[in-house]
A and B are shown apart, each in its own frame.
Chain A
Amino acid sequence: MGVLLLVARLALRDLRRRRGEALILLIALTATTTTLALGRTVGGGADRPWERTRAATAGPDAVATSANAADLAALAHAPGVTASAGPYATVFVDDLRVRDVRVTALVQGRDGPGGPVDRPQVTSGTWARRGGVVVERAFATALGVRPGDGLSIAGRRLTVAGVAVTAGRVPYPSSTPGLVWATRADLRRLGRPMTSHVMPLRLADPSAAPSFAAAHRGVRAWQDMGASATAELHLVDQALMTGTWALALLAVACVTILVGGRLADQTRRVGLLKAVGAAPRIVAAVLLAEYAVPAVAASAIGLVAGWAAAPLLARPSAGLVAGGRPGVTVGTAALVLAVAVAVTGAATLVPVVRGTRMSTTRALAGPARPPRRSAGLIRLSARLPVPLLLGLRLAARRPRRSALALASLAVTAAMVVAAIALHGDIAHKDARTTGPMFVPGAENPVTRQVNQVVIVMTLALVVLAAVNAVLIAWAGSIDARRPGALARALGATPGQLTAGLSAAQLLPAALAGVLGIPLGLAVYAGARAAAGVPGGAAIPYAWLPAVVPGTVVVVALLTALPARLSGRRPIAEVLRAD
């Protein structure tokens, strides 16, 4: 008990002493745990809204469409079919008008929502009676109509009696035109020729629906319709999963940089604790506890934030039945905590073990890892202007940190490229959702949600990458303090040193920007393949080269202040301190 108390007191005291670093660690870990919690809460549930909608509406296992009702009647008795409804006559109209909007629609004649298969669920209002229509919910949302509103179809004034969801047809705008139900009498009164007949079917084996559909003309399986209805949710799933991985990588980089930056200081602390009689296991416990506290706090914050944000990101199309607020399971909580602790543990274990194994006197001297020599780069730098000479040599003396900076920035640049690619694809998709089949001016709910997720993920990534860039600059400026002061004592100006410190950050940033482009395109292609998105991607290639100067400029802005402060520190003060 006494030992535990001692470990807790020492760890908390050090955390209080280094509040800024603890806060940065907390931000980095919270970004990761929030995304992970979101991914676990929302992710993997892309199919659920479709399944809920099928369950709530006695959704058909297959839907047959034919111009001839007699063909459908024969299908109702085909082997494997256990029940059917309809056939329902449908009319294609190109003049559904609401206020000043004109759009095409599919009007289905149906006197009630009942039947053995496909029972649309009225979510507001009532089913259609004479002079009234029911509008499929996603279509109603796009049209901006509610029960009681008026509209006209083929010049006939009708009233919106209700709004309903169905699993008998993929919701608007994933399938067009939008669906409207009217009574059979009203359908005839439209005076338009029947376009087709639709018959929902129940199969003995729903899993065999795809083969049933393949065997019969004009039949579509519920699985195929579900894939279309939830394509955007699958893409959201993939975006969340990819983003979570990227954030976890950045968090590991962040913790590693923090730990590396404090290594000399931590080693001295280890020496001090050992000198006053602390056993190696207590020293290790203190150091690990220092990082475990922010990890636990970040897990708690991440779980709450992920739970709160889940409904915003997991909202299915209005045409599907939404579930309640997704809950956080014990498994999710345990996983989030385990990942946060593992991330901090993995990054801190090596210095902890090294510190505890080191002799007390060596540890008290606080030996930092000796700088690396890169003969080629030293020779090359001799031919460069002074700021680049200093920058290249500073970057080369800590290759691991430079590699970490490169990896961290490359992951961010890749995700930004993937986001640009996705945005381009969405814009392309949006551009195709114009014309008479689509409600003019209505936002596309399919792409809106993907956009929201991408914006949230990109923001989280950029924030974490910015934290990393500042941390790398901070760690670099600590490491460069003495060689920088020496360079100034030997004749370098503060401006040259500041530029050199910036160059040490910008060289990996430029390379990261270059690597990020193919990496991001590969990530995007992988995510599309995993989500089963059909067709080729419409990537805005012209924008991608901007990622390189963009990365360099952002890193330059973020690292300017630490570099400037470090470049102007009094020489004697730095050389005296040691």
Chain B
Amino acid sequence: MPTVSVGRDRLYAALGRTYTQEEFEEVCFSFGIELDDVTTEKAIIRKEKHLDAEVEEDEEVIYKIEVPANRYDLLCLEGLAQALRVFSREEEIPTYKLANISKESMIKMHVKPETSSIRPHVVCAVLRGVTFTEASYNSFIDLQDKLHQNMCRRRTLVAIGTHDLDTLQAPFTYEALPSSSINFVPLKQVKSFRADELIEFYRSDLKLKKFLHIIENSPVFPVLYDHNRIVLSLPPIINGAHSAINLKTKNVFIECTATDLTKAKIVLNTIVTAFSAYCERKFEIEPVEVIYSDGKLYVYPDLSIYNMDVSLSYVNGTIGVSLEAEEVTDLLNRMQLRAEQSVSGDITVFVPPTRSDILHPCDVMEDVAIAYGYNNIPKRSPASLKPLALNELTDHIKLEIAMTGFTEVLTFILGSWRENFAMVNRKDDKSKAVVVGNPRSSDFELVRTSLMPGVLKTIGHNKDHPKPIKIFEVGDIALLDERKDVGARNQRQLAALFCGSSSGFELIHGLVDRVMEAIGAAFVPISDHTGYFIQPSDEPEFLPGRQASIIYKGKHIGTFGIVHPEVLNNFDIPDPCSFVELNVESLL
């Protein structure tokens, strides 16, 4: 996206009001431009020279504003300020017109056929009675630079020359001649150069050397002369010194030579519309007649309005709103598009020469949407599915544990009272377990309150499996809960067990660390409630002194330790085991 640098105070003066930076940013956001940077001229120079100087109080604040790449009309302060004034309804859309002069008194540009082999097109215009200030003059030069960089594709497609018309005499000719036959004093030089020597001279010129390739290998160079054979310019390289414009220039002759005629016309229109505001007759541009050797005549600039019919239903149907035709035309006016309701009830848009970006009714529709406000358009939500966060998190954690070398087991929810309590050294205080009333066998007496019995039973039945064994299970237990309508709730638990020739306590401890790391919890000092820490615990299913609690965000979420040898014995496990069980829901 191109960036335009404008003086803040000058911009506010042109807008007729001041803004706080936040207010201005809001206006930019809704219009589709962006305040990219706030700096000062001196700061830019300091940055270029890598200096660290004190910031002076009186430095002029520069706003660097990013504009859409297809809005050439916004590439200078004049165009930008006008667009924003019209957008906020502080100004009417200007009407640009050609000066009403007779065909005879019109300035003429004769195009020689040789130009067709190198740079076939030229378009011209005149700004009469211009009053430049230093600021507007600089803006005029900057705009040409911006256009050269952007639309003109570094002068390959279009090159702009601006001249003090009072130093020249019409008619002009646009020719293509061997470089050795062109002699002139180029801009910023005092001595005359032959064109081929000039090319060599500019090879060391940092700015101009980039453009030499466009013509240097051509047998003929494009060149513009006035009636007295004074060179206006050697496009796309340099203008002549003779016709250079300055602050006092009143009448400006503009020529754009090009390989792309469409772009040349847009470039010319962009310049003359923006700066006709400084003409004696505001928004009036004097046309120039371009005459080709085959006799074809064209009058430039082409300020013709392009009429585009846009159906109201298309606008409403595409944006997703129901606006009346008047509302649409009103919104379009704010975007500098004059529009009216046609007899058929649809909209006719009069696309001005400044708005070369309008190619299709969809561009008009977009401007309606911008003026209406993107953020005011009612949303229509698509049908879609929402995953359950708990199950998503469970799946992620399961994968992480499996990736550390643990194998998943899936055990039964139902079990016997003995294995759920007595066999794991736990007391039944009747406050926890959901108890089955009609168990067919002791295996279905209750709903597990821990994953431990199922995991230990798995080890007990896999005595012959090579050691060590590393298994885990993530699943629900059920707990009595008075707050629930049915008096019980599920709770998602994670359990993991190591069984080997020694207990593997530190390995299970390491797994706890990995699970906590995986959910993004930091290991913190004891009593710190921002992450997790480990402290000794005293649970009957584990060996005393060989067990610990996991405290996460100040809450006890689980325990790990060496399984008590009595418990191992109860499950007929001959090898030491370490086990962890924690509440997954507390990690959510």
Same complex for A and B? Answer no
